[in-house]
C-alpha cells in the first residue's frame, strides 16, 4: 500500500543545533516533494520544493535532500532558533495532474532556548 | 496581495445538519484545493477545482461536495454531518497549472465542531 511517513511525531533540540527531519514514502514515484511548516491553528506554509533530479536544495538556514533510491527526503534546519518551533510536513503528488497532494503526518519540532 | 481567506473561521453544528464553507483564493489563482485535517488522519486531500470544474478528488464519501464560481471562489458542502467530520478544513490556492512546481498557498482554515 502507499504510505508517507515522517520519522517521529515530536523532536526536541537545543537552540543553535541542527534539526534533521525525515520523510519516507512507499509505493509512490513522485517527481517532486515539498516541505511545509504549520503553526498551531494556522494553515501550512510552503517552504521548499525539491525535484527528483535534484539531490539537494537550500534556502537560508533550510536544506532539503531527496534520495529517490532510498525513497527518502531529509529536511535540515541549521542554527535552529525557538522561532523554528512548529510542525513540519512533507508532501508529494501521487500523480502528474492537478494540485492534489498527499501529506505526511508531520513532525512537531520544539527548539529549546 | 491578499492571502487566501476562509469563512467562517469557527463553526459548531449538530449531527445530521449540513454546512457550507467558503474560500476566496489569491487574486489570479484559478485552482482551489480543499483538505481535511484531523489529529488522527492528518491532512487529507478532499478535492481540487480549476476553472469551475472538479479536476481531482480524494477518497471521501459523497456527502462532501464542492463547487467553484467564475471568480475562482470556492465552496465546500458537507451534508448529514457526523461526529467524525469535526476537523480543520483548509483550502489552498495556486495558479492552476499542472506543474508540481507551483506553490500552494493555504488559508487559515475553518474549524468545524460537530456535536
pLDDT (tens digit, 9 = 90+) per residue, A35-54?
A: 999 999 899 999 999 988 89
User: Has residue A61 got a pLDDT over 80?
Assistant: yes
Contacts B43 to A, Cβ<8 Å: 44, 89, 103, 106
Q: What end-to-end distance do the CA atoms of chain A give, in Å? A: 41
CA distance B16 to chain A (A): 26
Residue B95 confidence class, pLDDT cut points 50, 70, 90: confident
On the question of pLDDT at A97 being above 80, the answer is no
CA pair distance B52, A98, nearest whole angstrom? 14
- Taking an 8 Å cut-off on Cβ atoms, the answer to whether B100 and A32 are in contact is yes
pLDDT attached to residue A12: 95
Interface of A with B (CB under 8 A): 30-32, 41-46, 49, 51, 89, 93, 96-106
Phi, psi of B70 (to 5 degrees): -65, -20
Average pLDDT over residues A22-38: 91
* Lowest-confidence region among A7-11, A62-66, A85-89, B100-104: B100-104
What pLDDT shows up at residue B102? 75
Question: CB of B44 within 8 Å of any CB in chain A?
Answer: yes
B31/A contact by beta carbon, under 8 A: yes
Contact B4, B92 (CB under 8 A): yes
Residues 6 or more apart in contact with residue B91 via CB below 8 angstroms = B4, B6, B21, B23, B25, B32, B33, B34, B35, B74, B76, B106, B107
**What's the pLDDT band for B98 if we cut at 50, 70, 90?**
low
Amino acid at each position: 500500500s502507499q504510505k508517507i511517513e515522517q520519522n517521529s511525531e515530536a523532536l526536541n533540540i537545543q537552540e543553535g543545533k541542527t534539526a534533521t527531519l525525515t520523510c519516507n514514502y512507499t509505493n509512490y514515484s513522485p517527481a517532486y516533494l515539498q516541505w511545509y511548516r504549520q503553526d498551531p491553528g494556522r494553515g501550512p506554509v510552503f517552504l521548499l520544493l525539491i525535484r527528483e533530479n535534484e539531490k539537494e536544495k537550500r534556502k537560508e538556514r533550510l536544506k532539503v535532500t531527496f534520495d529517490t533510491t532510498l525513497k527518502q527526503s531529509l529536511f535540515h534546519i541549521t542554527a535552529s532558533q525557538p522561532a523554528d518551533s512548529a510542525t513540519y510536513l512533507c508532501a508529494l503528488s501521487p500523480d502528474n495532474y492537478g494540485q492534489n497532494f498527499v501529506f505526511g503526518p508531520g513532525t512537531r519540532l520544539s527548539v529549546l532556548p | 496581495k491578499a492571502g487566501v481567506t476562509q469563512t467562517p473561521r469557527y463553526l459548531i453544528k449538530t449531527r445530521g445538519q449540513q454546512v457550507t464553507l467558503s474560500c476566496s483564493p489569491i487574486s489570479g489563482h484559478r485552482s482551489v484545493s480543499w483538505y481535511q485535517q484531523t489529529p488522527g488522519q492528518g491532512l487529507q486531500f478532499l478535492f481540487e477545482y480549476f476553472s469551475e470544474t472538479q479536476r481531482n478528488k480524494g477518497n471521501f464519501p459523497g456527502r462532501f461536495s464542492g463547487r467553484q464560481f467564475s471568480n475562482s471562489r470556492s465552496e465546500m458542502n458537507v451534508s448529514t454531518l457526523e461526529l467524525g467530520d469535526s476537523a480543520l478544513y483548509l483550502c489552498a490556492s495556486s495558479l492552476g497549472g499542472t506543474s508540481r512546481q507551483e506553490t500552494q498557498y493555504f488559508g487559515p482554515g475553518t474549524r468545524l465542531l460537530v456535536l
